[in-house]
Structure 1
Amino acid sequence: MVNPSRKDWSRLLKDDLWAHRTTYWTLLGMSDPCHLPVGIEHRAYWAVKQSNMAYNQAGKERKLQLQELEEFRLEAYENSRIYKKKVKQFHDQQILRKEFRVGQKVLLFNSRLSSLQVSSVLDEMSHLLSLIFSLMDESTNNTFQVNGNQLKILHEGRYRQWERWKASH
């Protein structure tokens, strides 16, 4: 033990060093579970020390992981692009082409009134990739122009059935 004035510490240094050396190597008389945490702590310290020594190797592995992640992202983007292209192609195949002839009866959808009316095609003009049709309303004999998106081909049989059903309800 050292005096509170701490003037005699050098005199006791040899005794303290001997005590430290002998107690470190002396068995405590304890069972193995007591030594287990010390062994685990030593292994953890060794693993941390080993991993810290391999900075270059860890950096290379991290770069490889980032490159793999980038390749995976690009592959997913490419697959998405191919999928969208195929879906668009399938959708375009399912769209029915509308071919109107002069004198043919068509159904015109009036978006303002949300109704359908029967008209006859009088003339067809093409302006800037949109087809414009001149129509004549059968009930009023009025002539007007519409684009092809508002028209559908009239199937007489189905239209008559629909008119009968509409009249009965």
Structure 2
Amino acid sequence: MRFSSVFPLTRLSARGLNTRLRFVCAGGTDAIRRAPGVPLATQHRDQKFFPQIDLVRGLMNKTELIDHIAKQADISKAAAGRSLDALVGAVKTTLKKGGTVTLVGFGTFAVTARAARTGRNPRTGEAIKIKKAKVPKFRPGKALKDAIN
């Protein structure tokens, strides 16, 4: 039985992997057929062994996003990385100028102003002044909300 058929689309630490497998298939690590000469601790870190998305934590990092874009758009990983960097750069530049970026169906990136305020130092309890700041915000669009729910 292949690990990917028992527990697809995940990356776990060796300890978490063993715990999760015992829970999922009540067989512990015996349910995994390891590649010859490759210990479990190194095998679980292999990106080719595990697909892109970490469903246990619900996270996707930049490298995994680039891999996903390259696969879906049928382009090289280098081109996908450049396109992602271009998108992030365009959003940063527009927000820095005070504008908004709207991707219909996905959401809107905007900048809001946070007023100066008085806060408390949690260690000493003394009052401290917190400066005003511009803060980036993201408002999800209807299609994104519908896709999640």
TM-score range relative to shorter protein: under 0.3
- TM-score if structure 2 supplies the norm length? 0.21
Which structure is higher in helix share? 1
Which structure ranks higher in relative contact order (CA pairs < 8 Å, sequence separation ≥ 6)?
2
